[in-house]
Amino acid sequence: MKARDVMVAPVVTVTPSQSARDVAILFARHRISAVPVVDEKGRVVGIVSEGDLMRRSETDTERRPSWWLSVFTSDDALADEYIRAHARKVSDLMTKSVITAAPDTLLSKIATILERNAIKRVPIVSNGQLVGIVSRANLVQAMAAAKPGLIVPMSDTAIRERLLDHLKTQRWAHAGFVNITVFDGVVSLWGLVPSETEKRALRVAAEQATGVRAVEDNLLVTPSISRAA
């Protein structure tokens, strides 16, 4: 799937000249937590999130660092906090460095962007124009809407061979200490693993394998095998 398949469009936006109160009203009205900021040509020039409105003078939530902490805080940092607490215009509140993606960006790439940059949403831009937005929630919604794959009948031998081949490609798997048996679609895991995490990962790998009906986990955790591998 691609960004265009899950993105929200049209997108609620604001302009740099709008007020912080305008943004707060939009958040409450549309039940959203961020809005892209666009210029008169529809280009994304920033983004404002609810985090930018957390410490405000209107709600008496602005930061008031103790005098001794202020000694170790730079003047620029104090000035920036003042701006965030008192600025009236979006242009003074918005994050100007915005990460965007194209409509044909794969969702796997979108997930990487969100995770790597610790952000919650990505504006989708085409030919310089904002056409949508994809959030973490949209990825979860796409997963919820996905239809389960068809159950493909496979022989026990084929299931075992495919699972073993898959584990050989996983760097974390100590496949040399593990044996797999399959009977009537039920996978039994035998042998030793160095940690509970690998034990769980092997079970997950077996559960998602095509043709598997159930998994019996008989693995024993033996930390010393990691040194022997």
- 179-200 pLDDT per residue, tens: 999 999 999 999 899 999 999 9
Please report, as a single letter, which amino acid is at residue 83: I
Spatial separation of the C-alpha atoms in residues 196 and 201, rounded to whole Å: 9
**Cβ atoms within 10 Å of 138's Cβ, excluding its own:** 20
pLDDT for 142 equals 86
pLDDT for 56 equals 79
Give me the helices (H) in the chain, please: 3-6, 20-30, 67-71, 75-86, 90-93, 107-116, 136-145, 156-168, 196-207, 225-228
pLDDT for 147 equals 67
Q: Which distant-in-sequence residues (6+ apart) come within 8 Å of 181 by Cβ?
A: 160, 187, 188, 190
pLDDT for 47 equals 95
Instruction: Identify whether the C-beta of residue 94 lies closer than 8 Å to the C-beta of residue 44.
Output: no
What fold characterizes domain 156-228?
A: Histidine-containing Protein; Chain: A; (3.30.1340)
Computed from CA positions of residues 28, 30, 33, 34, in that sequence, does the dihedral angle turn out positive or negative? Answer: negative
As a whole-number percent, the residues of the chain with pLDDT over 70 amount to 89
Instruction: Identify whether the C-beta of residue 33 lies closer than 8 Å to the C-beta of residue 55.
Output: no
Strands 34-38 and 178-183: unpaired
Instruction: Identify whether the C-beta of residue 95 lies closer than 8 Å to the C-beta of residue 46.
Output: yes
Spatial separation of the C-alpha atoms in residues 6 and 2, rounded to whole Å: 7
Kindly give the confidence (pLDDT) of every residue in the chain, 229 residues in length, as a single tens digit, with 9 standing for 90 and above: 899 989 998 899 999 999 999 999 999 998 889 999 999 988 999 999 988 888 777 777 776 666 555 655 576 777 777 877 788 899 999 999 999 999 999 999 999 999 999 999 999 999 999 999 999 989 988 888 776 655 567 899 999 999 999 999 999 998 788 899 999 999 999 989 999 999 999 999 999 988 899 999 999 998 876 655 5
pLDDT for 100 equals 95
Tell me, yes or no, if the pTM score tops 0.85: no
Provide the CATH number for the domain formed by 3-145 in this structure: 3.10.580.10
Domain borders along the chain are 3-145, 156-228
pLDDT for 109 equals 94
